[in-house]
Amino acid sequence: MTYQPTQAVSLALLKVSWSSNLATNDYLSFTAEVNNISKLSISTDTISLPPGCYSVEASIGADRTNGFTDELFYRLELGGSLIGNIGSADCANASNTFLTVDQAVATFEIRETSNVKIKCTSCTASAWTSNADCSYVLIRRAS
């Protein structure tokens, strides 16, 4: 029996936000809370990743000021192509007090430095505002 050596995992935790009401095709902005991934860099709406194997998880918390049953859909974008599953947020009652969130998640390997973004792919209303306390990107890099 052969045992594989344990791989080291480096982590980065980013806060996600946007400056105005979110609309379809908008990109979200990032700020680093923790970054233990060497050569990872952030510039407003772009995460630049060095070569490696990654698992990226994005969760977007958003608040609505009017209406209910509105939905917000987003995806990870790698090098200009949408990847992984669709993430979503929606208000579930008339008082906007119950919000459900599904993370967008993708696992991939890159052989050269590549850019990752979060893109709003569909937004049923324009009154979504950022809830930074519930919005994050968790990046795991195996080496």
Record the pTM.
Answer: 0.86
- 94-112 pLDDT, tens digit per residue, is 555 556 778 999 999 999 9
Lowest mean pLDDT, pick from 10-14, 22-26, 27-31, 77-81: 22-26
Domain residue spans in the chain?
9-142
Provide CB contacts within 8 A for 6, sequence distance 6+.
Answer: none
DSSP string, 112-131: S-EEEEEEEEEES-S-EEE-
What fold is seen in the domain 9-142?
Jelly Rolls (2.60.120)
